Amino acid sequence: MKDSTRIRTVLSVLMLLSLTLVALELRNSGFGFTNSIRINTANIVSPFQKSARSFTDSIQNFGSTWREINTARELVKDLESENLELKEKLGNTDEVRRRAAELDALLKIAGLGTYEIVPARVIAIGAGQDYSWTVSLDVGTIDGITEDMTVISGQGLVGRTISVTESTTLVALLADPSSKVGARIGGKSELGFVSGNGLPGELEFEIFDPLAEINQGDRIVTWGSNGGKPFVSGVPIGEVISVKSSPGLLTKSAKVKPYVKLSTLDLVSVIVESPRIDPRDSLLPPMPFVPTPTNSSSPAATPGQN
Amino acid sequence: MNVYKYVALSITIFVAVIFQPTFFARLSLPGATPDLVIVVVSCWAITKGPAVGAIAGFIAGFLIDVAPPGNQLMGIASILLALIGYGIGIIGSGPSKSLLRPLVISSVAATTFFLLRTIWAVFAGNDLSLVNFSTIFLTQGIYAGGLAIFVYPTIALLDRRLGPVSRSDELRMQ
């Protein structure tokens, strides 16, 4: 009996503590005590996460090496060891090539738009079931990152930075319900907002003008905010997959599939300086089909020529 | 519960919080990300009863809200997980030879946690699409059950190795 009273006391104390945390955070959201708890925890946890990340990588490498050992077993002993060594090197080269290709893609997009970027690796990914569409990066204030900067990958827009410590950065992805990006249909000047609703492969695009023409396959780019914060202009976001007809409403909406696969991010970059000239549609990927003669003057069909 | 066991409890939860976003999230399995944290909390609650379950839940909830990439309102996950740990301790604690009980309890705990979080997210006014709800709900339960097969023996072993069962522990388990 006495024991169960003790247990109930423990539970009540814990509930009170949790409620205190909730109250503190609601009271001074983003500042003060709870924020310093977050920053300190991030500083303690992120080195462990970084090493866990490289540990995971080495396990994956080990797995592939292990398979290679098994196939080489029949070979002569010295040849086997030599073979293993070579194959290991080969495996590493593949990984290096893949990373180089990603970096190339990043450089290309940065070069075209003349953005100044800081490359970064994703170290931790938030779980979908926690309703946090956030990832953390291995760069921080020492690399010149601040809050509300645009994050891109080789394919297009990823999200924006929401909190930065010395060595880590938290990024809210496009799919996050709090994410709202000013956007524009490529080749036109119809403006709207792309917002996340918790699905990594489907965004909501709301156009201000209810009479605007929007079709399946239309490509969406960022509109850009004043001073490039939080979003610089001209970054590809995604492609319209379906248009919702909503007669009587003040806005028109469509579903957009993002160019970036948000669930498998690895190398990304943070735009630390926006371009002096608005890149308009020059960053959109080439059209997948040959334009019909009536539609031949699409400005987005040949990126990379300017 | 002696000091070593509290240290072991904290370390297991910390390791789960580190590996969940860096390892399990990278596997990009269909549906949910395997929820190692709640499985660890469930297994401690099964092994050590309601008080330890509640403490484990509180620590785990605090860490998943605060440690990157967590970005939720601090304290909500602590409340939910402490209550879940307490509930498991009341209903399902005590030594168990078969793995079936930790498996079932972990998957029920994981799905309950997901359900409560969804209710909270909708209540907090997030503009969510719940298209994937049933997929995540199902896979969450399956993954948690699968993880429990490995996590429960580990935690039971830690519990046995780190000193004898104290008198109060024996009382609690009855």
Which tens digit of pLDDT belongs to each residue from A208-247?
887 778 888 888 888 877 777 788 888 889 999 988 876 6
Average pLDDT for B32-53: 91
The nearest alpha carbon in chain A to B55 belongs to A14
Task: Please name the helix (run of DSSP H) or strand (run of DSSP E) that holds residue A196, with its range, or none.
Answer: none
Chain A residues with CB under 8 Å of B70 CB are 126, 130, 132, 134
Q: Report the distance separating Cα B36 and Cα B100, nearest Å.
A: 17
CB contact under 8 A, A26 and B19: no
* Number of other residues whose CB lies within 10 A of the CB of residue B98: 7
Count of residues making up chain A:
306
Strand partners, A270: A118, A151
Give the burial class of A196: count Cβ atoms within 10 A of its Cβ; 0-12 exposed, 13-18 middle, 19 or more buried: buried
The nearest alpha carbon in chain B to A123 belongs to B22
Could you say which DSSP state residue B7 is in? Answer: H
Domain-located, residue B35: yes
What residue numbers bound the domain in which B25 lies? 3-163
Position A252 scores a pLDDT of 80
Chain B residues with CB under 8 Å of A134 CB are 68-71
CB contact under 8 A, A49 and B21: yes
Contacts of A215 (CB under 8 A, 6+ apart): A240, A243
CB contact under 8 A, B68 and A136: yes
Position A297 scores a pLDDT of 42
Where do we find the tokens 């918790």?
A198
Give me the phi and psi of A207, to 5 degrees please. Answer: -100, 140
Q: Which is nearest to A237 in space by CA: A303, A150, A299, A304?
A: A150
3-state secondary structure of A267: strand
State the sign of the Cα–Cα–Cα–Cα dihedral A234, A236, A242, A246: negative
CB contact under 8 A, B127 and A124: no
CB pairs under 8 A between A and B: 170
Give the residue, B46 or A201, on which the prediction is more confident.
B46
pLDDT for B147-158, tens place per residue? 999 999 999 888
Q: Report the distance separating Cα A219 and Cα A68, nearest Å.
A: 43
Domain tally, chain B: 1
- Interchain CB contact of B146 with A (< 8 Å): no
Closest-CA distance, A199 to chain B, in angstroms, reads 7
The alpha-carbon radius of gyration of chain B (Å, integer) is 16
Contacts of B103 (CB under 8 A, 6+ apart): B145, B148, B149, B152
ipTM of the complex: 0.82
Q: Which is nearest to A199 in space by CA: A128, A94, A148, A137?
A: A128
Q: Report the distance separating Cα B38 and Cα A285, nearest Å.
A: 42
Q: Report the distance separating Cα A254 and Cα A67, nearest Å.
A: 46
Q: Report the distance separating Cα A100 and Cα A111, nearest Å.
A: 16
CA angle B27, B33, B38 (to 5 degrees): 130
Position A4 scores a pLDDT of 80
Chain A residues with CB under 8 Å of B53 CB are none
CA angle A133, A138, A144 (to 5 degrees): 105
Closest-CA distance, B159 to chain A, in angstroms, reads 19
Position A258 scores a pLDDT of 92
Give the type of residue at A227. Answer: G
pLDDT for B72-119, tens place per residue? 888 899 999 999 999 999 988 776 678 899 999 999 999 999 999 888
Tell me which CATH homologous superfamily contains domain A117-284: Rod shape-determining protein MreC, domain 1 (2.40.10.340)
**B:70-89 residues touching chain A, CB 8 A cutoff:** 70-79, 82-83, 86, 89
* Tokens (6 digits) for B139: 């896979």
Q: pLDDT tens track of chain A, all 306 residues?
A: 457 888 888 899 999 999 988 888 888 765 677 888 888 888 888 888 888 888 887 877 776 676 666 655 555 667 767 766 777 776 667 777 777 777 777 776 666 666 778 889 888 888 777 777 889 998 988 888 888 899 988 888 999 998 888 888 999 998 888 888 888 887 777 888 898 888 878 888 888 887 778 888 888 888 877 777 788 888 889 999 988 876 677 778 889 999 988 878 888 989 887 766 666 666 676 665 544 444 444 444 444 433
Q: Which is nearest to A190 in space by CA: A214, A174, A172?
A: A214
Task: Please name the helix (run of DSSP H) or strand (run of DSSP E) that holds residue A260, with its range, or none.
Answer: none
* Tokens (6 digits) for A247: 């007669």
Domain-located, residue B168: no
Q: What is the CATH number of the domain that holds B101?
A: 1.10.1760.20
State the sign of the Cα–Cα–Cα–Cα dihedral B151, B152, B153, B158: positive
Burial A253-285 (b: 16+ CB within 10 A, else e): bbbbebbbebbebebbbbbbebbeeebbbbbbe
- Preceding peptide of B69 cis, ω within 30°: yes
Domain-located, residue B170: no
Give the burial class of A46: count Cβ atoms within 10 A of its Cβ; 0-12 exposed, 13-18 middle, 19 or more buried: buried
Position B104 scores a pLDDT of 93
Position B56 scores a pLDDT of 95
Q: Report the distance separating Cα A156 and Cα A159, nearest Å.
A: 10
* Tokens (6 digits) for A298: 């699409």
Beta carbons of B92 and A162 less than 8 angstroms apart: no
Beta strands in chain A, from DSSP E residues, in sequence order: 116-125, 134-137, 150-152, 157-164, 169-173, 180-185, 191-195, 203-207, 219-222, 236-244, 252-258, 267-273
Q: Report the distance separating Cα A255 and Cα A243, nearest Å.
A: 6
Chain A residues with CB under 8 Å of B41 CB are none
